[in-house]
Chains A and B, each alone.
Chain A
Amino acid sequence: MGELIRAVDLGVILGGQKVLEGITFSVKAGELTGIIGPNGAGKTTLLRAILGLLRICEGELNVLGVPDTSLMDVRPKIGYMPQRQSFERRFPLSAADVVAVGLLSPATVLRKITDKDRRIRAALKSVGMESYAGRPFKELSGGEQQRILLARSLVRQPELLLLDEPNAGLDFPAQQSFLQLLHKLKHEKGLAIVLVSHDLVSIASSADQLVCINRSMHIHGSPAEVLQSSYLHEAYRCQFDYLSVGDKRGVDCE
């Protein structure tokens, strides 16, 4: 399987300051990569750099085979789901209207979106929310809203999906249901998924690889490798116990 993201010694500048440096990892098709790290570590910054929204000051970043300077060309092949606080929760849109927002791109400015209804229906179906098309978005539960936002990021049939803390604020069943849906999408569509999360237990049991970052430090590898690494304690400034219960892996912060 080819690499959809390849970052080598990546450095990113934000507001005139270098907020990430020396980041190296790769993401393959059909793989779920978890990005972890403490608050302010630069996880969202990394996603925004992959999207081409931030300037890369050093190193190399290839996304879908294209170097960062021409990332606009591949933007339609990337699905993005920002953090929950980025959108207006009480906005008067139906679920289908929210998904339609995902169809917008520079190419659709001053133009009509082709085949809009069919594409919206297909995206809603892929997250099991087809019957919710006409429902007001503001009246849905947190878990249902997340699925609709996932449909929005899938509507252009991307090859790469970037999700920024999609489980934040959801209860445990909703979190599990969302992760199961991601697994289904990963297997059925061969999507490469990059998921930022603070829930180390869930992400460790779901991801194929973990990337733990803290600005100028990082480690990547299998969940077991990352969770057992002393670097994790250093990044979080916290002691962890590695847990292994059946096929569940996880951590406890003492």
Chain B
Amino acid sequence: MSEILAYGFMQRAILAALLVGTLCSTISFFVVLKRISFLGAGISHTALGGIALGLVAGVDPVLTGSIFAVGTAMSTGYISRVGKISEDTVIGIFYAFGMALGIALISTFKGYYPELFALLFGNILSVSVRDLLYMSLALVVILAYIILFFKELLAICFDEEMAEAAGLPVKPIFLGLLAAMGLTVMVSIQLVGVVLVSALIVIPGATASRLSRNYRGMLTVSLVIGLAGSFGGLLISYYYPVPPGAAIVLILAAIFVLSMAVKPWFEKHLRD
């Protein structure tokens, strides 16, 4: 273990894994409760259009990707409510649009763009101090938002009609959650890439929901699983020739499968 910590790139990678693991598992809690898992996959693929646009325009692709991700998340929430169309349908359209835009722009590239491949498949080992600052800022902003509006977010996820009837500002609070989700997806893309990021914001919450009887337990278990998956995947990729992004998602998937096997035992012995 001390051998791993001797390398600067591994220190940064571990820190990135902990930051993203915390962020994703917290957002995953709401994603699973509100049943908007497909939105995560859609946002990440739409972000590809923003990333490609940034590379073509010579602007930081993380910035343009973030704008696309947050914009897509909030537009989906807004259009689905105003137009009375399901979120899945709206994100299905954005998903295809973002991918098509990304593919069209990438086809114009001449030469090799290492940033593009890092963002497509993730490269946690190349995380810079600047990336860590960006992740930390995102974590602080998103956690502050969730802590401030936690009881309202929980009420909206449980019974949106009741929340609306109580006079809560449902639309702005929910759009805030979607913006947080978009930002989380973009931050996590640097870790596991566009292709695999949805796993990070679905699996921790989905596994936790199987093992918990109340939301406090679910949030805690989701956090533990998110951190264990991120950190465990990083360790595996250090010792074995597996890309870190793939290793993280494989560990999370293994934990989910394990949770299905242990659930009956859990229900019998470890009820929160």
Contacts and interface: CB of A to CB of B under 8 A. Distances in A.
A97 B33 contact: no
Contacts, number: 81
B46 interface: no
DSSP class of B's interface residues: helix, strand, loop or mixed? helix
B164 A92 contact: no
A28 interface: no
A101 B162 contact: yes
B238 interface: no
A92 B217 contact: yes
Contacts of B149: 109-110
A178 interface: no
A101 B214 contact: no
Given A92-B213, A104-B151, A86 B159 contact: yes
B56 interface: no
A108 B214 CA distance: 23
A105 interface: yes
Contacts of B214: 92-94, 97, 136
Contacts of B166: 75, 80, 102, 104-105
B158 interface: yes
B114 interface: no
A147 to B, nearest CB: 16
Interface residues of B, number: 29
B33 A51 contact: no
A217 to B, nearest CB: 27
B212 interface: yes
Given A80-B165, A104-B152, A105-B168, A87 B159 contact: yes
A166 to B, nearest CB: 13
A92 B215 contact: yes
Interface in A68-97: 72, 75, 80, 82, 86-88, 91-94, 97
Contacts of A91: 33, 157-158, 215
Contacts of A106: 167-169
Nearest to B35: A88
A98 interface: yes
Contact of B215 (A51, A72, A93, A108): A93
Contact of B168 (A80, A100, A104, A113): A104
Interface of B: 33, 35, 84, 148-149, 151-152, 154-155, 157-169, 209, 212-215, 217-218
20 contacts: A72-B167, A75-B166, A75-B167, A88-B157, A92-B33, A92-B213, A94-B214, A101-B154, A101-B155, A101-B159, A101-B162, A102-B162, A104-B151, A104-B155, A104-B168, A105-B168, A106-B169, A109-B152, A113-B151, A139-B213
